[in-house]
């Protein structure tokens, strides 16, 4: 009796996981198809002319670039050089030193000949006190804000207070932009008559690439196996998830590494939330919420063209910490705004995005982990369980590797970033191995994120960087 009950429940559990996987595979496939059509429409379109035209200050709005920095001495100079060489009519760069304990500030002061200035700051968002403000003698538009430590969100809020332009762009202290990225990311805002209030760009991984005074000359695919897996992951997330969600104004995550916001709306929505781990997702959700609650016709978009290069973790321990944080941040935001879920008041965001994020991103890791455990256990139990396990394994391959390869292909077809056949082959082969090692690893880390969410752990989320430039080039 007990045995048959046990069999029944374990088969039920197996069927549940299989059903879940089928649904998710279906959702991913639909998203993939939407992205494909979206990309196909613009295929071969000559974007050059539009960019050139936008370079004219008559059309473009000025923008403040905020770089929050906490112990970023390795990459900070490259980032600022890259920002100074951007093609954009009018910008100011505000580095916010959030109480770094390393040489971040000294390096900046020295490299840009920063001088302390007295500047009245309108405190529209509440932040930890600002200690001093410096202005570069080499370029009047480069500022350094020294403030007491308050976390990344607090640093960004301080940057918003100091910023003088109506739009701001947040960029991580270790990121490099292509020279036209800012123009392209601003395009949806200006062409939509500011109906678009936030735009996220595409983030690519730059490890092992050589950065000389703020630009990457010829990108190559990193060799490190862990980094290659992340390249695939990023492609997958950007090429599939975000393009299709953006089409219907349902994006919940635009990368904190590179996004542009309209200052007014961010301030109205209360700025970045200080006590949240995933401040970038939280802000986007808050903006959606504000817009819907005030019945405004505003959009948040993701654009695939403008690229921001960032450094990905190269060791398991750093990657683990990052993933744990991401999962924790995601859960915190979803939980905080749980009332938006399936609430028609919030339109597509409430009815589709939220359920999607709960179902795929939040519950997903639990179910997938259950699936992996099931496969291992079933292997020992044999018999009917083994068939179930085999079925599940096939679905994992479909869900992981096949979809990843599809994203890699879609990206290769659309962009010529890695113009070498060897690279394409490597990406495809590595996608195949995803199910066996990378996926289970990230699952465990995500589960740790769950734990952290329940225990409400806090940290700034620093990562040890190796820097993108060759030794001595700009540091």
**In angstroms, what is the minimal distance from the CB of 263 to other proteins?**
13
**In angstroms, what is the minimal distance from the CB of 470 to other proteins?**
27
**In angstroms, what is the minimal distance from the CB of 387 to other proteins?**
5
Judged by DSSP in three states, 316 sits in helix
Residue of 377, 226, 383, 402 whose CA lies nearest to 316: 226
Q: Print burial letters for 437-465: b (CB count within 10 Å at least 16), e (below 16).
A: ebbeebbebbbbbbebbeeeeeebbebeb
Nearer to other proteins, 178 or 187 (CB): 187
Q: What one-character-per-residue DSSP string does 7-63 give?
A: HHHHHHHHHHHHHHHHHHHHHHHHHHHHHHHHHHHHTT---HHHHHHHTSTTTPPPE
Nearer to other proteins, 160 or 285 (CB): 160
Query: Encoding tokens for residue 460?
Result: 């700034």
**In angstroms, what is the minimal distance from the CB of 70 to other proteins?**
28
- Alpha-carbon distance of 194 to 192, in angstroms, equals 5
**In angstroms, what is the minimal distance from the CB of 451 to other proteins?**
34
Nearer to other proteins, 362 or 395 (CB): 395
**In angstroms, what is the minimal distance from the CB of 449 to other proteins?**
30
* Chain residues in the site for other proteins (CB under 8 A): 41-46, 48-49, 52-53, 56, 58-59, 117-120, 122, 140, 190-193, 195, 384, 387-388, 390-391, 394-395, 397-398, 402, 405-406, 409, 412-413, 416, 419-421, 424-425, 428
Nearer to other proteins, 101 or 422 (CB): 422
**In angstroms, what is the minimal distance from the CB of 20 to other proteins?**
16
- Alpha-carbon distance of 449 to 366, in angstroms, equals 11
Nearer to other proteins, 351 or 417 (CB): 417
- Alpha-carbon distance of 253 to 349, in angstroms, equals 12
- Alpha-carbon distance of 197 to 186, in angstroms, equals 10
Nearer to other proteins, 1 or 45 (CB): 45
Nearer to other proteins, 284 or 395 (CB): 395
- 389 Cβ contact list (under 8 Å, min separation 6): 14, 374, 375, 378, 379
């Amino acid at each position: 009796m007990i045995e048959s009950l046990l069999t029944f429940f374990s088969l039920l559990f197996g069927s549940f996981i299989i059903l879940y996987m089928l649904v998710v595979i279906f959702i991913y496939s639909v998203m993939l198809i939407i992205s494909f059509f979206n990309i196909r429409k613009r295929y071969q379109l000559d974007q050059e002319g539009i960019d050139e035209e936008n370079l004219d200050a008559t059309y473009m709005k000025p923008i403040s670039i905020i770089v929050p920095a906490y112990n970023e001495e390795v990459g900070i100079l490259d980032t600022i050089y890259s920002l100074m060489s951007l093609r954009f009519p009018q910008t100011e760069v505000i580095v916010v030193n959030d109480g770094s304990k390393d040489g971040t500030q000294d390096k900046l002061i020295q490299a840009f000949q920063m001088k302390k200035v007295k500047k009245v700051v309108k405190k529209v968002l509440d932040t930890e006190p600002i200690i001093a403000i410096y202005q570069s003698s080499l370029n009047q538009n480069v500022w350094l804000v020294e403030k007491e430590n308050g976390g990344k969100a607090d640093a960004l809020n301080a940057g918003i207070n100091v910023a003088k332009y109506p739009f701001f762009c947040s960029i991580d202290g270790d990121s490099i932009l292509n020279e036209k990225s800012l123009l392209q990311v601003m395009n949806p805002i200006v062409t939509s008559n500011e109906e678009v209030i936030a735009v996220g760009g595409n983030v690519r991984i730059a490890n092992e690439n050589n950065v000389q005074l703020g630009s990457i000359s010829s990108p190559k695919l990193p060799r490190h196996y862990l980094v290659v897996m992340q390249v695939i992951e990023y492609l997958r997330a950007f090429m599939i998830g975000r393009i299709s969600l953006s089409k219907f104004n349902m994006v919940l995550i635009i990368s904190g590494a590179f996004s542009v916001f309209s200052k007014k709306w961010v301030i109205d929505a209360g700025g970045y939330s200080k006590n949240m781990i995933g401040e970038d997702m939280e802000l986007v959700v808050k903006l959606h919420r504000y817009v819907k609650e005030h019945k405004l016709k505003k959009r948040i978009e993701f654009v695939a063209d403008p690229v921001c290069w960032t450094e990905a973790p190269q060791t398991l321990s750093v990657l683990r910490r990052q993933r744990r944080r991401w999962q924790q941040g995601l859960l915190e935001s979803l939980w905080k705004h749980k009332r938006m879920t399936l609430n028609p008041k919030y339109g597509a965001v409430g009815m589709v995005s939220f359920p999607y994020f709960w179902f795929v991103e939040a519950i997903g890791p639990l179910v997938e982990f259950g699936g992996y455990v099931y496969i291992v256990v079933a292997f020992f139990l044999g018999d009917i369980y083994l068939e179930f396990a085999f079925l599940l394994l096939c679905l994992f391959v479909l869900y992981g590797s096949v979809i990843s390869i599809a994203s890699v292909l879609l990206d290769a077809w659309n962009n010529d970033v890695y113009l070498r056949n060897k690279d394409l082959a490597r990406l495809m082969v590595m996608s195949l191995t995803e199910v066996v090692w990378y996926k289970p690893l990230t699952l465990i880390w995500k589960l740790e994120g769950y734990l952290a969410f329940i225990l409400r752990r806090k940290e700034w989320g620093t990562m040890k960087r190796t820097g993108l430039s060759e030794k001595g080039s700009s540091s």
